[in-house]
Amino acid sequence: MNEVITEEKSESDTQFEPKILGFLCNWCSYAGADLAGVSRNQYPSNIRVVRLMCSGRVDPVFVMDALIKGVDGVLILGCHFGDCHYGDGNYEANINYEMLNLLLKNVNIDNRVEINWVSAAEGTYFAKIVTDFTDKIRSLGPSPMAKINTPKDLLLKMKAIKQVVYDPRVRKLVGRERKITESGNVYNEKIDKGDFILLLKDALNAEYIRNQILLHLNEEPGSVKVVSEKMKMDTTTIFEHFLVLQQRGIIDVLEIKGFSPIYTVI
């Protein structure tokens, strides 16, 4: 009998306690979290909250920053659609999240970031969301980024994703999403949401590959073939991206070794 109890105790002692970062908007979700407190709704203590005025302030760069630093899960909570104190900041948060989610699928970390909507009146619901998310992250185990020996390959890919969300191209596209899908572009062409996502996917995919190429070349100059092998991708695709990067004036040929040009970041 005693043995069973000690076993249980030791299990709970060694239970993985994830580090969870919450981005809460001041007006709805933070107020909902306050209400959970006032109502004494109990939930796991893993979450650490950063209060922002609006979920629209959650720059994807912040989320990538947190993930790279080893946070096990990121929870973004805003107002319900139509309830945003600022009108539509939560729509902006949502498209940013969708974009980040697409990118994180490449490294299987997409399930560690979640977005949800909590009103100021939903204290119990807030507690439920946090509990469910904590349980989910706990069952996923520690983030691969949190381990002491983070695979070098994964770290490079995560850095590439952070760069994608930092760079102007994707930010311009995502920033104009609602304009393009709701009121049309400068030519009054309205693109529906589905088409926009396809467009976004293409852009994300290309930028993701290009940023990985840049990080590899930053480590050491190399040929198309060497970088392709490192990235486990076919040379034709990689070559096309090399050309784009060269046209943009970001990389150039350093020397010719044998028959292969060796590229470097300018």
Partner 1 sequence: MDDDIRIGIFVCHCGTNIGGIVDVPAVTEYAKSLPHVVFTQRNLYTCSETGLNAIKNGIKDNNLNRVVVAACTPRTHEPLFRGICSEMGVNPYFFEFVNIREQCAWVHQKDKKKATEKAKDLIRMGAARAALLEALDKYQIDVKPSTLIIGGGISGMSAAQVLANQGYETIIIENDTELGGQLRFHYSLYPGELDPQKVLSIKDGLLKNPKVKIYTSSKIKNIDGYVGNFDITIQKGEEEIKFTVGTIIVATGADVLKPVGLYNYDGKKVITQKELEQLIKSGGFNHKKIVMIQCVGSRNKERPYCSSICCMTAMKNARYIKKKYPDSEIVILNRDIYTSGTYQETYYREAREMGIIFTRYNKLKPPQVGKDTVTYYNESLKENIELNYDLVVLSTPLVSYSESEELSKMLKVPLDEFGFFLEAHVKLRPVDFATDGIFVCGTCKWPANVPESISQGYAAASRVTRIISKSSFSVEGSTAWIDQDKCIACEVCLKKCSYGAIARDEEDRVVVRTVLCKGCGACSTTCPEHAIHIRHFTDDQIESEITALMEGD
Token code pair at residue 90: 């939560």
- Is 76 within 8 Å of 115 (Cβ atoms)? yes
Instruction: For the CB of residue 229, give the shortest distance to partner 1 in the complex, in Å.
Output: 33
Stretch that binds partner 1, among 45-53, 100-108, 216-224, 244-252 (CB under 8 A): 45-53
Identify residues 176-235 at the interface with partner 1 (CB under 8 A). 176, 178-179
Among 128, 127, 123, 98, residue whose Cα is nearest residue 113: 98
Which of 18, 29, 31, 115 is in the footprint of partner 1 by CB under 8 A?
Answer: 31
Asked if 40 interacts with partner 1 (CB under 8 A), we say: yes
* Bridge pairing between strands 260-265 and 251-257: antiparallel
Instruction: For the CB of residue 31, give the shortest distance to partner 1 in the complex, in Å.
Output: 6
Among 228, 221, 100, residue whose Cα is nearest residue 171: 100
Give bridge partners of residue 164 from the DSSP assignment: none
CA distance 77 to 115: 6
> For the chain, what is the radius of gyration of the CA atoms?
22
Stretch that binds partner 1, among 54-62, 150-158, 211-219, 257-265 (CB under 8 A): 54-62
Binding mask 153-172 for partner 1 (x = CB under 8 A): -------------xxxx-xx
Token code pair at residue 106: 């490449």
User: Which lies closer to partner 1 via its Cβ, residue 97 or residue 208?
Assistant: 97
Asked if 56 interacts with partner 1 (CB under 8 A), we say: yes
Sequence-distant (6+) residues with CB within 8 A of 8 are none
Residue 124: burial class (beta carbons within 10 Å; 0-12, 13-18, 19+): middle
* Bridge pairing between strands 20-25 and 47-52: parallel
Asked if 36 interacts with partner 1 (CB under 8 A), we say: yes
User: Which lies closer to partner 1 via its Cβ, residue 53 or residue 256?
Assistant: 53
User: Which lies closer to partner 1 via its Cβ, residue 40 or residue 232?
Assistant: 40
Binding site residues, partner 1, CB under 8 A: 19, 21, 26-28, 30-31, 33-34, 36-38, 40-43, 45, 48-54, 56-62, 65-66, 69-71, 79, 82-89, 92, 96, 119-121, 127, 166-169, 171-172, 174-176, 178-179
